Structure 1
C-alpha cells in the first residue's frame, strides 16, 4: 500500500492512561477462596505507573463468600461445569457465564484485560478439569467467566498474569492495548475513509513485524473499499488487525522491518553510517543485542534526518518508552 498522509488522524494524548480490567486478586484484594490475594508486582508496580485498573472478582460477584469452598471445573473440558470441590451440589456455572456476558457489555471503556491464570473462573487456558470422582482429566479447560467475557469481546486484548513474565508476550500484549486505545479514539473522533487509510499506514511496520502476510491482506481489504463502505469495512478491518497483532513478532521479522525503515536513510547517510546501521540490525537478528539498540540508533538518525512517513510509524514507539519493554526482546 502506498505511503498515506496522516489525514488529520488523532493521536493519543501525552500521558494517556489506558484502562484495563484485571482479576482483583492480582492487585492485592483479598478475595481468593482462602482469604488471600495473588498480587502481581509487575501489574501494580510497573503497569500501574502508566494505566488504570478496574479490579473484578467474578466469584465474589456471583455470591461466593471470602473465605469460601474452592470451585473447580468438572466434566467435559469443552463444556465444563463450575462446581464445589467439597460439595458437588454447589454449582455456579450459569452465574459465572451470565456475569461474564454482563461485564463484557458494561466494561465498554477498557482497552484490555489481565486474568488470573489457572483459575476455574478467570483462567484463559490450561485450567484443570476433573471427573466427577475428582480425578484430573487429560484435557484442559478455560475459566467460565473468562470464556464468556472473551466470546463477547473477541477483539479486546487479553492476557494472563503468568504469561506477562515472558518479555515477548508482555510486549505483544501492550502493543495490542495501545492499538485498541488508538482505534477507540479514532471511532470517537470520527471515522472517515482517509483516516482509516492513514491508521493502516501508521501501523504498516508494526503489522509487518507481527504478521507480514496479514498486512498485505488488510491492504487489499482497504483497497476494495468504496466511499460508502467505510462503516462496513472498518469493523472487519479492526478484527483482522487485532488478530494479526496477536501473533508475536520474531527477531527475524523485527530485523526485516528495521531494514525497511533504514532504507529511508539511504540517501542521508554515508557508507560508514549505513554500515553501522546494518551491523547493529545484524547483531540484533543474531541475538547479540536487544531490539532497543538498533531502534535507538534509528530514532537518533531520523531526528537528524526527519521523514514524515517514518515519523508517524507506530512501530517506533507503540507503547510508553518508560515501560522499557523492548530492552528485553
Structure 2
C-alpha cells in the first residue's frame, strides 16, 4: 500500500536518542498514523555527533544571538546544528508533512525556553532545526506531537498533509490550466468550510488564468489554499457547507428525508451531534442519488475513515 512520506522527530517513534538515552514514543504516530504515513525520522542532535545519553542543550541568547549550548556550559553546538539543519531540510522535498518533538532546542516548533534574559527563561524560542525546516518549506504542514492530542488540531494537521500531498502529485504529473481548475473544483467545499473569503479569492484568482502566467497563478493558489486550510473549520463553517450539499438533493429526496437532513444539520450546528452524523447521511443519499460533482469533493473524504478523525468534531 502506498503511504505518504512524512518527516518526524526520531524520538517520537521510540528511538533511544534523547539526552537521557530515552525516547518520547507517540502511540498515535506509531500505531495509527503509521498505517498511512511512511515516516522519515530525524534526530538533529544525534546527527551532529552528540551521543545518548549526553548533557542537555538549551537555547541561550548572547549578544543578540541565539546559541545552542550545553546546560553545564561545556560546549556550544550552534554552528553544527545550523549547518546540519540547512543541509538536511534541502533534501526533504519528498515529504508532505512533519511532526516535531515539543520543547526541544533543536526540534521545538514554538514556545521553546530561551535562557539569558532578565527574567531567566522565556518560552519564546523555536528549535534551530525546526526553524530551518519551516523557513525552507513554508507551505509544509508542521505540527508538534503534544498538540496532536487535541482532536481539532489533529484532524486539521492530517487534512493538510493529505491536501499538500495531493498538490505535490498534481505538480509531479505536470501542471496545466485544466488540471489546476479540476484540482480547485475538488477542493471548493473543503476551502469554504475553513475560510469563505479564501474560497472567493481562489475562485477569482483562477478566473484570471488567461491574464497571468500559469506558474505564477499556481504558486499563489497553493499559498492561498494552505493558508486557508491552516484556519480550523468550526461548526458555522461546516454547517454552511452541509447546507450547500443539501441543496443538491432537494429535488431527489422526499419531504420527510429533506426534513430529516435539515434537522440533522441544525443539530450539528448547535452542538447536539458530531459532524460525522450529517456527513454520513449525505453520503447515504449520494449513494442513492449519484452526483459526479459531489462525489469528487474532498470535503466528504479528506482523509481515511479508519483514522476516525471526525468522530469528535
Q: Give the alignment's TM-score, normalised by structure 2.
A: 0.96
How far the C-alpha of 1:99 sits from its partner, in A, is 2.1
Q: Which shifted more, 153-162 or 212-221?
A: 212-221
Greater relative contact order: 1 or 2 (C-alpha under 8 angstroms, separation 6 or more)?
1
Measure the CA separation in 1 of the matches of 2:140 and 2:185: 21
SS at match of 2:98: strand
User: Do residues 28 (structure 1) and 7 (structure 2) align?
Assistant: no
Once the two structures are superposed, the pairs formed by residues 30-109 of structure 1 within 5 Å of their partners are 30-75=16-61, 80-87=66-73, 89-109=74-94
Measure the CA separation in 1 of the matches of 2:149 and 2:11: 17
Q: Which shifted more, 282-291 or 21-30?
A: 282-291
SS at match of 1:187: helix
Indicate if the aligned counterparts of 1:77 and 1:140 stay in contact, CA closer than 8 A: no
Alignment deviations for residues 49-77 of structure 1 (CA, whole Å, 9 cap, x no partner): 12111110001111211111101111179
SS at match of 1:203: helix
Indicate if the aligned counterparts of 1:27 and 1:43 stay in contact, CA closer than 8 A: yes
User: Do residues 135 (structure 1) and 120 (structure 2) align?
Assistant: yes
Partner of residue 260, structure 1: 244
Measure the CA separation in 1 of the matches of 2:266 and 2:212: 46
User: Do residues 204 (structure 1) and 201 (structure 2) align?
Assistant: no
Partner of residue 128, structure 2: 144
Partner of residue 12, structure 1: none
Once the two structures are superposed, the pairs formed by residues 161-172 of structure 1 within 5 Å of their partners are 161-172=145-156
SS at match of 1:53: strand
Q: How many residues align?
A: 313
SS at match of 2:213: helix
Partner of residue 118, structure 1: 103
Partner of residue 222, structure 2: 238
* Structure 2: segments with no counterpart, 5+ residues: none
How far the C-alpha of 1:318 sits from its partner, in A, is 0.6
* Structure 1: segments with no counterpart, 5+ residues: 1-14
Measure the CA separation in 1 of the matches of 2:281 and 2:209: 38
Instruction: From the superposition, tell whether residues 132 and 85 of structure 1 become closer, same or farther in structure 2 (CA, over 3 Å).
Output: farther
Runs of 4+ in 1 over 4 A off after TM superposition: 76-79
User: Do residues 283 (structure 1) and 267 (structure 2) align?
Assistant: yes
User: Do residues 159 (structure 1) and 143 (structure 2) align?
Assistant: yes
Q: Which shifted more, 108-117 or 221-230?
A: 221-230
Q: Give the alignment's TM-score, normalised by structure 1.
A: 0.91
Measure the CA separation in 2 of the matches of 1:274 and 1:267: 9
Measure the CA separation in 2 of the matches of 1:76 and 1:124: 21
CA RMSD of aligned residues (A): 1.8
Instruction: From the superposition, tell whether residues 76 and 131 of structure 1 become closer, same or farther in structure 2 (CA, over 3 Å).
Output: same
Measure the CA separation in 1 of the matches of 2:83 and 2:205: 35
User: Do residues 217 (structure 1) and 201 (structure 2) align?
Assistant: yes
Instruction: From the superposition, tell whether residues 245 and 79 of structure 1 become closer, same or farther in structure 2 (CA, over 3 Å).
Output: farther
Partner of residue 171, structure 2: 187
Partner of residue 282, structure 2: 298
Alignment deviations for residues 204-251 of structure 1 (CA, whole Å, 9 cap, x no partner): 010011111111111111111127721221122111211111111001
Partner of residue 18, structure 1: 4
Aligned partner (choices 209, 214, 226) of residue 210 of structure 2: 226
Measure the CA separation in 2 of the matches of 1:279 and 1:80: 56
SS at match of 1:131: strand
